[in-house]
């Protein structure tokens, strides 16, 4: 059986068209299938659209999370529900073309465990989003031991073996594409062209993108902590050199009021200390969050089962 998992946050207008695209692309597919929509706490009737579909087509199922837990948690919820031997994850806004599904299935059958995708182009995507995404992957790959293809998407197919491995990783701040890369197994990449979303606007607010980037980096790299220590050493050595200079000047009797140098030193030291404290704080917050071991999500309602 093939499972298709789609997280959806306020995508009411997109549920039907995306369902139709998937059905169309699978007309030649012999095996059984299920389509699982995960309503990530929508407020716009997304779930009633899913309910409508599940009444028409018994292969459609839906779960509604108890609030908005975010894209990555919704993916985890959907993958936990999937019963297929192969599982596809894709967006519910039409930006992950369903016409790619046969190609994903084919590639998987060549003996891969995971087939990932990268966007070669996104229609209607702003320059800010493109540039920030490019810089994020540069930074991520520079800092982390795990490598991620730039422009990679949460649009992929996995077999049961890879899915079980993925589900066994229980960390809270889930950065799916990093976890997948970290897991290993036999992986392949396919390219696709992302069209505009069918309706509505991006559900990744600036705040969500920032959290996503922070989760990614702090979950897969401790280099910022080490870089903090290196900055500390550089500042300390410079301070010592300056101290030698200052003491020498004192004994030579050439001390002057020194207001500027004092002010600059205090400002720079203060800034560096706060920055490093902030980095440590960020990791501490992750540890705090992780140790609470709360469930990743709650299910409020189900349909079509």
Binding to ligand UDP (CB under 6 A) within 92-131 occurs at: 92-93, 95
* Shortest Cβ 99–ligand UDP spacing (Å): 17
Torsion (CA) 36, 78, 177, 181 in degrees, nearest 10: -100
Token digits of residue 52: 């409508």
Instruction: Pick the piece of the chain touching ligand UDP (CB under 6 A) from 4-12, 112-120, 260-268, 282-290.
Output: 4-12
Other CB atoms within a 10 A radius of the CB of residue 202 amount to: 13
Alpha-carbon distance 183 to 179, whole Å?
Answer: 6
By the rule CB under 6 A, 133 interacts with ligand UDP: no
Nearest 5°: CA angle at 196, between 190 and 200? 130
How many residues does the structure list for the chain? 305
By a kind-dependent CB cut-off of 5 to 8 A, residue 56 interacts, out of Mg ion, ligand UDP, none, with none
By the rule CB under 6 A, 36 interacts with ligand UDP: no
* Shortest Cβ 73–ligand UDP spacing (Å): 8
Binding to ligand UDP (CB under 6 A) within 172-231 occurs at: 197, 202-204
* Shortest Cβ 74–ligand UDP spacing (Å): 4
The answer to whether 134 touches 213, Cβ cutoff 8 Å, is no
By a kind-dependent CB cut-off of 5 to 8 A, residue 94 interacts, out of ligand UDP, Mg ion, none, with none
Binding residue for ligand UDP, selected from 2, 4, 5, 11, defined by CB under 6 A: 11
By the rule CB under 6 A, 136 interacts with ligand UDP: no
Nearest 5°: CA angle at 18, between 40 and 181? 65
Measured between alpha carbons, how far is residue 271 from residues 232, 236, 262, 265, 274 in Å? 12, 14, 14, 10, 5
* Shortest Cβ 205–Mg ion spacing (Å): 13
By a kind-dependent CB cut-off of 5 to 8 A, residue 39 interacts, out of ligand UDP, Mg ion, none, with none
Spell out the residues 6+ positions from residue 67 whose beta carbon is closer than 8 angstroms to its own.
Answer: 41, 298
Characterize 98-114 residue by residue with b for buried, 16 or more Cβ atoms within 10 angstroms of its Cβ, and e for exposed.
bebbebbbebbeeebbb
Binding to Mg ion (CB under 5 A) within 184-203 occurs at: 197
By the rule CB under 6 A, 8 interacts with ligand UDP: yes
* Site track 55-94 with ligand UDP (rule: CB under 6 A), x = hit: -------------x-xx--x----------------xxx-
| Nearest residue (CB) to ligand UDP, 204 versus 283 | 204
By the rule CB under 5 A, 93 interacts with Mg ion: yes
The DSSP result for 133-162, as a single string, is: HHHHHHHHHHH-SS---TTB-S-EEEEHHH
Alpha-carbon distance 143 to 137, whole Å?
Answer: 10
Q: Please name the helix (run of DSSP H) or strand (run of DSSP E) that holds residue 202, with its range, or none.
A: none
- Classify 192 as helix, strand or coil: strand
* Shortest Cβ 204–ligand UDP spacing (Å): 4
Q: What is the DSSP letter of 126?
A: -
| Nearest residue (CB) to Mg ion, 177 versus 197 | 197
* Shortest Cβ 190–ligand UDP spacing (Å): 18
- Contact residues toward ligand UDP (CB under 6 A) are 7-9, 11, 40, 68, 70-71, 74, 91-93, 95, 197, 202-204
- Contact residues toward Mg ion (CB under 5 A) are 91, 93, 95, 197
């Amino acid at each position: 059986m093939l499972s298709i998992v789609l997280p959806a946050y306020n995508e009411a207008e997109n549920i039907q068209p995306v369902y139709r695209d998937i059905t169309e692309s699978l007309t030649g597919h012999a095996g059984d299938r299920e389509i699982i929509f995960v309503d990530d706490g929508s407020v716009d009737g997304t779930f009633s659209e899913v309910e409508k579909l599940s009444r028409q087509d018994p292969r459609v199922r839906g779960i509604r999370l108890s609030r908005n837990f975010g894209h990555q948690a919704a993916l985890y919820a959907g993958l936990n529900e999937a019963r297929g031997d192969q599982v596809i994850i894709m967006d519910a806004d039409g930006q992950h073309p369903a016409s790619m599904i046969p190609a994903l299935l084919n590639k998987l059958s060549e003996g891969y465990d995971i087939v990932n995708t990268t966007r070669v182009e996104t229609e209607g995507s702003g320059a800010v989003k493109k540039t920030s995404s490019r810089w994020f992957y540069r930074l991520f790959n520079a800092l982390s031991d795990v490598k991620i293809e730039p422009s990679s998407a949460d649009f992929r197919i996995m077999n049961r073996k890879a899915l079980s491995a993925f589900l066994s990783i229980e960390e809270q701040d889930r950065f799916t594409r990093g976890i997948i890369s970290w897991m290993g197994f036999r992986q392949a990449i396919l390219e696709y062209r992302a069209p505009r979303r069918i309706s509505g606007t991006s559900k990744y607010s600036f705040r969500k993108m920032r959290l996503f980037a922070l989760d990614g980096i702090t979950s897969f790299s401790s280099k910022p902590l080490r870089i903090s220590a290196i900055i500390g050493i550089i500042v300390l050595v410079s301070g010592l050199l300056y101290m030698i200079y200052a003491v020498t000047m004192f004994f030579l009797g050439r001390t002057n009021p020194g207001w500027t140098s004092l002010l600059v030193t205090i400002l720079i030291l203060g800034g560096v200390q706060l920055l490093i404290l902030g980095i440590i704080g960020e990791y501490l917050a992750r540890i705090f969050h992780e140790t609470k071991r709360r469930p990743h999500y709650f299910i409020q309602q189900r349909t079509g089962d």
